[in-house]
Chains A and B, each alone.
Chain A
Amino acid sequence: MRKLLESFVAGLNRLTAKGPLRRLRPVTEALDEAMLGTDKTARTAPFIADGMDVKRMMSLVILGLVPSAIAGIYFYGWYVAAMIATSYAVGGMTEVAFAMVRRKPIHEGFLVTGLIFPLILPPTTPLWVVAVGVFFGVFFGKEVFGGTGRNIFNPALVGRLFISLAFPSYFATMWGKMHWGGAGGFVHWTVDAITQATPLIDFKGSHMISTDPLSLLIGHAPGCVGETFRLGIILGGLFVVVMRAGDWRVPASYLGSVALSALILHGIMPDRVAPVWFQLLSGGLLFGAFFMANDPVTSPFTFTGRFIYGITLGILTVLIRALSGLPESVMFAILLMNAVAPLIDNAVINAAYRRATTRVRRLAA
């Protein structure tokens, strides 16, 4: 088995060693590293290394997303699988193209972006729109900033924002009627009808709540592909946090802040602001809090900054939902806060330094 793998990889490497396929070197290198593991050893201290690497970290996040993806297929049919495949293919090609141009190794980040992106789209989004969106997200959201670790905005959200502005109709009306009971979407290609509005759109229109907490938890309410099966999102999100592939501070402070601001504002404006349980369980909040706001690259890295970021996100989410013309706000809140994340970090670091120097001066005086 191992021999087979090794000879396969060796063959791939020979193929791109020279000649016309030389440009594909990053691809075979990435496959080589992923399939066979590393042979690098520590030459200087520390002589041991943590077992974790970026590949495993991304794999853990993908594992955390699996319940949402499977639920998406169950609710909306195998078309969702086609969306995911499209997203991976186009997103992967964009990443590979950049790795080839830059002559740098392929980074694993697109594996998460490529899965998250279709999960935050309406279930009837045409495949070509998925392709355009993921290309836009990876290209303008990540690569033009310099690639992995340098992007300011979450690439998947950049792609979604682009689609929601360029093709607004898919977000306004094309919410599919989900399959329910029995084999569900596992025996269907796609949804049968495009009628229902999401609970958040209902609330925006009529100030009435059209669903109940249990339906929201198990996903029996229309929404984006991956955001409806909230029980799975919570379990997957906790898995990621417990595994330490994601930080607990952002989701905890984001959700806590939504709950608190909804509690206060619902008391003041019960018509405009939905109650706490509905705020927490509707729309893309849980998915956004666990898998998008918590993206380490685009959120603050200082611990205090992460709390500030999460709390502000919560307030923004509740305010935009209540006071703007938009039914859902998680995407805008996160993109807005992505933009100020470096500012938050700077402020936190400067404040800590000021505290330290004032103490020095006091002690010296």
Chain B
Amino acid sequence: MAGRVIRRSFGGGFRFRNYAGQPASTLVTLSVPERVVIPMLQGFGVPLKPLIEPGETVAAGQIIGRDDTLLSSPVHATINGRVSEVTSIDHVGRQVPAVVIAGDGTDSWIRLEGRSANHRDLEPEQIEDLLYRSGASSLGSEGIPTRFHTSVIGAADVRHLIIHLTGSDVFSPAPGALFTGANREAFAAGTEILHRVMPKAEVHIVMGRSEERLLESIGDLLAGLPSVRLYAVEANYPQAAPEMLVTTILREEFPYGHAAANIGVVVLDAQAVLHVYEAVVEGKPVIERLIALSGPGFEQPGHVRVRVGTPIESILTGRLKRSAEVRQRVVLDSLLAGAGVDDLSLPLDRTAVQLIALPDDDRRLPFAFARPGLHNDSFSRSFVPAWLPVGKEAGTNRHGEERPCIQCGWCARVCPVRIIPQLIYRHARVSVSELLVRYGAFNCIGCNLCSYVCPSKIALARHILEAKEKLLDVGCDNSSCIVPRFDLKGIEEYKGVKNIR
């Protein structure tokens, strides 16, 4: 399949281009932190009980949480040291047990047993065992299926494996930082390993259109795998959402409201594949993560390699711009759909992709509505960057006051799933009824683009989310409409893990 790159795109969406503060391809490995906080829920699964007590000595790579009966993957200590505390932290929007480890500063770690420099020597069962024990099986939108109950479906149910590096967000990790040295070979080997675990799956590798050469070279390395297909996609947000990958790459309908795994699709990002390689070939558990430091708030946007569980503040120290005028806002993973980091002592877990810092810009701009807007991004073409190649600046300023909806239709024009956000919003204000299902409330994938473009500054996506919750409260979901269409697997289990009623 080498050399055949298929081009794809989808209707709707929004291209965030030319933002100042994109991370450079530099990569710095940070020294081992003095202290880490290990959340007992990382990646796909349910929270685990810590297997260690305060005061115990632990080593980097040692499993400190594992339960083969639960839908989960093991959690590791990521530094050598002593457990100082077992506590509970606010993590991914819920309270999760966490283990605090005070480190001794050494950077060694325990290799997994049973690894092999040549993965072809290993049986699929041995690979699954390594993936599980390394924690790599918790990566991806719904985990990598193994014999160990790590995903809602079994490895034999996987029809498609999608590996993506689309760069469609406002800020995205630079592919150049990920694919340094022998990482292309490692990525190719990791893909092969995954294919051995999921032999029925067709493999789809998806990258941004600017990375076609990288894609071709990876295709050359994977020439031995006949089921691999290569795709170059527009950097159109939210291309990286599983819903959009399934619809644009596989050209299949998505069971909105459910997960890709439910239709037998596993979605992984490129870094997850490298973790798979490291686990199987090097015997390295997922104790380190490559994090992009992006956005105008950083002195030098770039990439760092950090231990999982490192508190965010210790990564930021000395790297954030200092300004007397304005505070920096720190956001995890995505400016559009990520979470704001209010407590900087919280840790990064093994799924973190990037930290974004941008000015929390409450400075008032006189006559903002009448200015040419040298660095403003907009769906409209009324700002300078729409016509000239000037860099755009990200900031948290809302650029306007909230106003009643005037039905301008921008939300519908950018909506990637082709619903009419303002219609659901206006209807939900009046009543919560089954009409909302008809209007496609459950199709919303929460990409937040409608809230981004709204000139009336209405938080449309949040209102839709609330409407969905109210609908579920009254026992109304779209299962009657979509379930017959699909052969869905593991729905109840998925809902259990994601806490969906």
Write the residues of chain A forming the contact surface with B, with a CB cutoff of 8 angstroms. Answer: 2, 5, 33-57, 59-60, 105, 107-109, 147-150, 242-245, 247, 296-297, 301-303, 349-350, 353, 356-357, 359-361, 363-364
B482-494 vs A, CB cutoff 8 Å, 1 = contact: the mask equals 1011000000000
**CB-CB under 8 A for A245 and B380, given A38-B364, A46-B448, A55-B400:** yes
Interface residue B397 (Cβ < 8 Å from any Cβ of A): yes
Interface residue B337 (Cβ < 8 Å from any Cβ of A): yes
**CB-CB under 8 A for A50 and B481, given A37-B367, A57-B408, A297-B407:** no
Contact A52 B381 (CB under 8 A): no
**CB-CB under 8 A for A353 and B455, given A37-B368, A149-B404:** no
**CB-CB under 8 A for A45 and B338, given A53-B455, A244-B379, A245-B382:** yes
How far apart are the CA atoms of A45 and B452 in the complex, in Å?
9
**CB-CB under 8 A for A40 and B397, given A50-B379, A50-B454:** yes
> Mostly helix, strand, loop or mixed at chain B's interface?
loop
> Mostly helix, strand, loop or mixed at chain A's interface?
loop
Which of A242, A244, A353 has the largest number of chain B CB atoms within 10 A?
A244
B442-472 vs A, CB cutoff 8 Å, 1 = contact: the mask equals 0000001101111111010110000000000
Contact A57 B455 (CB under 8 A): yes
B388-427 vs A, CB cutoff 8 Å, 1 = contact: the mask equals 0000001111111101111111101000000010110000
Contact B409 A38 (CB under 8 A): no
Interface residue B129 (Cβ < 8 Å from any Cβ of A): no
By a CB distance below 8 angstroms, the chain A residues around B331 are 45, 47
In addition to A33-B401, A56-B400, A301-B412, 5 A-B residue pairs with Cβ atoms within 8 Å of each other are A36-B364, A53-B455, A56-B380, A149-B405, A297-B407
Interface residue B339 (Cβ < 8 Å from any Cβ of A): yes
- Can you spell out 27 A-B residue pairs with CB atoms less than 8 angstroms apart? A2-B366, A34-B367, A38-B400, A39-B363, A40-B398, A41-B397, A42-B396, A43-B340, A45-B335, A45-B338, A46-B449, A47-B329, A47-B394, A48-B395, A48-B452, A50-B453, A51-B378, A51-B383, A52-B378, A54-B400, A56-B400, A57-B455, A109-B406, A149-B407, A243-B381, A296-B408, A361-B484
Contact A52 B455 (CB under 8 A): yes
> How many Cβ-Cβ contacts under 8 Å join chain A to chain B?
203
By a CB distance below 8 angstroms, the chain A residues around B335 are 45-48
Contact B340 A47 (CB under 8 A): yes
Contact B336 A46 (CB under 8 A): yes
- Size class of B's contact patch? 35 or more
How far apart are the CA atoms of A2 and B364 in the complex, in Å?
10
By a CB distance below 8 angstroms, the chain B residues around A105 are 401, 403
B331-371 vs A, CB cutoff 8 Å, 1 = contact: the mask equals 10011111110000000000000001010111111111110
Interface residue B26 (Cβ < 8 Å from any Cβ of A): no
Write the residues of chain B forming the contact surface with A, with a CB cutoff of 8 angstroms. Answer: 170, 329, 331, 334-340, 356, 358, 360-370, 373, 376-383, 394-401, 403-410, 412, 420, 422-423, 438-439, 448-449, 451-457, 459, 461-462, 481-482, 484-485
By a CB distance below 8 angstroms, the chain B residues around A108 are 403
Contact B338 A41 (CB under 8 A): no
Contact A41 B379 (CB under 8 A): no
Contact A53 B329 (CB under 8 A): no
Contact A55 B369 (CB under 8 A): yes
By a CB distance below 8 angstroms, the chain A residues around B363 are 39
How far apart are the CA atoms of A349 and B439 in the complex, in Å?
7
Contact of B401 among A42, A53, A301 (CB under 8 A): A53
Closest to A1 in B: B366
How far apart are the CA atoms of A109 and B408 in the complex, in Å?
13
Contact A41 B369 (CB under 8 A): no
By a CB distance below 8 angstroms, the chain B residues around A38 are 364, 368, 397-401
How far apart are the CA atoms of A297 and B398 in the complex, in Å?
23
Contact B360 A243 (CB under 8 A): no
Q: How far in angstroms is the closest Cβ of chain B from A214? A: 31
Q: How far in angstroms is the closest Cβ of chain A from B466? A: 12
Q: How far in angstroms is the closest Cβ of chain B from A349? A: 7
Q: How far in angstroms is the closest Cβ of chain A from B14? A: 9
Closest to B367 in A: A35
Closest to A40 in B: B398
Contact A40 B401 (CB under 8 A): yes
Closest to A298 in B: B407
Contact A48 B406 (CB under 8 A): no
By a CB distance below 8 angstroms, the chain B residues around A56 are 369-370, 380, 382, 400, 455
Q: How far in angstroms is the closest Cβ of chain B from A154? A: 13
Q: How far in angstroms is the closest Cβ of chain A from B442? A: 12
Contact B336 A45 (CB under 8 A): yes
Q: How far in angstroms is the closest Cβ of chain A from B460? A: 10
How far apart are the CA atoms of A33 and B448 in the complex, in Å?
25
By a CB distance below 8 angstroms, the chain A residues around B482 are 360
How far apart are the CA atoms of A256 and B304 in the complex, in Å?
57
Contact of A52 among B329, B358, B379, B439 (CB under 8 A): B379
Contact A54 B406 (CB under 8 A): yes
By a CB distance below 8 angstroms, the chain A residues around B403 are 53-54, 105, 107-108, 148-149
How far apart are the CA atoms of A60 and B367 in the complex, in Å?
14
By a CB distance below 8 angstroms, the chain B residues around A361 are 484
